[in-house]
Amino acid sequence: MKTSGWGRYPVIDSEVVRYNSDDSLFENIDGRNPVIPYGFGRSYGDSALSDTILKMRPAKRMLHFDPENGLLTCEAGVLLSEILETFLPRGWFLKVTPGTKYITIGGAIASDVHGKNHHQYGAFSEYVSEFSLMMPNGSIKACSRTKNKDLFYATCGGMGLTGIILKATISLQSVQSNTIVQQTIKTACLKEIFQAFEEYYNEPYSVAWIDCTATGSSLGRGLLNVGHFKEDHKFEYKAPGKLNMPLKLPGFLLNKWSIKLFNQLYYQKNLKSENRSETTVDSFFYPLDILKNWNRLYGEEGPLQYQFVLPKKTSFDGIKEVLNYLQKKNMYSSLGVLKLFGKENKNLLSFPMEGYTLALDFKVDDKIFQILDDLDKIISGLGGRIYLAKDARMSVEIFNTGYSKAKEFRSIRDQYGMNKIFNSLQSNRLNL
Among the listed residues 392, 404, 329, the one whose alpha carbon sits nearest the alpha carbon of residue 159: 392
Q: Is 86 in the site for other proteins (CB under 8 A)?
A: yes
CA distances 205 to 222, 239, 242, 368, Å, are 17, 21, 25, 32
Nearest distance from C-beta of residue 28 to other proteins, angstroms: 11
Q: Judged by CB under 8 A, which of 11, 20, 30, 397 binds other proteins?
A: 20
Nearest distance from C-beta of residue 115 to ligand FAD, angstroms: 6
φ and ψ of 290, to 5 deg: -60, -35
Residues within window 21-40 making contact with other proteins, judged by CB under 8 A: 21
| Continuous segment of H or E residues that includes residue 107 | helix 105-110
The region of 106-114, 194-202, 245-253, 260-268 touching ligand FAD under the rule CB under 6 A is 106-114
Q: Distance between CA atoms of 284 and 293, rounded to whole angstroms? A: 19
Residues within window 49-68 making contact with other proteins, judged by CB under 8 A: 58, 60-65
256 makes contact, choosing from other proteins, ligand FAD, none, with CB < 5 to 8 Å by partner type, with none
Nearer to other proteins, 7 or 39 (CB): 39
Q: Is 288 in the site for ligand FAD (CB under 6 A)?
A: yes
Nearest distance from C-beta of residue 99 to ligand FAD, angstroms: 3
Residues within window 263-292 making contact with other proteins, judged by CB under 8 A: none
Q: Distance between CA atoms of 121 and 228, rounded to whole angstroms? A: 13
The contact pattern for ligand FAD, residues 143-182, with x = CB under 6 A and - = no contact, is ----------------xx---xx-----------------
Among the listed residues 37, 65, 63, the one whose alpha carbon sits nearest the alpha carbon of residue 50: 37
The contact pattern for ligand FAD, residues 37-56, with x = CB under 6 A and - = no contact, is xxxxxxx---xx-------x
Q: Is 100 in the site for ligand FAD (CB under 6 A)?
A: yes
Q: Is 106 in the site for ligand FAD (CB under 6 A)?
A: yes
Count of residues engaged in binding other proteins, rule: CB under 8 A: 13
The DSSP line for 116-132 is TTHHHH--GGGGEEEEE
Dihedral sign (CA 53, 421, 43, 251):
negative
Q: Distance between CA atoms of 114 and 387, rounded to whole angstroms? A: 11
Q: Distance between CA atoms of 200 and 210, rounded to whole angstroms? A: 17
The DSSP line for 296-353 is GGG-SS-PEEEEEEEEHHHHHHHHHHHHHHHHHTT---S-EEEEEE----S-SS----
Q: Is 76 in the site for ligand FAD (CB under 6 A)?
A: yes
* Residue 70: partners with Cβ closer than 8 Å, 6 or more residues away: 92, 171, 172, 173, 174
The region of 113-121, 182-190, 196-204, 377-385 touching ligand FAD under the rule CB under 6 A is 113-121
Nearer to other proteins, 244 or 428 (CB): 244
The DSSP line for 12-57 is EE-EEEE---HHHHHHHHTT-SSEEEESSS-SSSSTT-SSEEEE-T
164 makes contact, choosing from ligand FAD, other proteins, none, with CB < 5 to 8 Å by partner type, with ligand FAD
Which residues lie near other proteins (CB under 8 A)? Answer: 18, 20-21, 58, 60-65, 75, 82, 86
Which residues lie near ligand FAD (CB under 6 A)? Answer: 6, 36-43, 47-48, 56, 76, 98-100, 103-104, 106-107, 110-111, 113-115, 159-160, 164-165, 288, 389
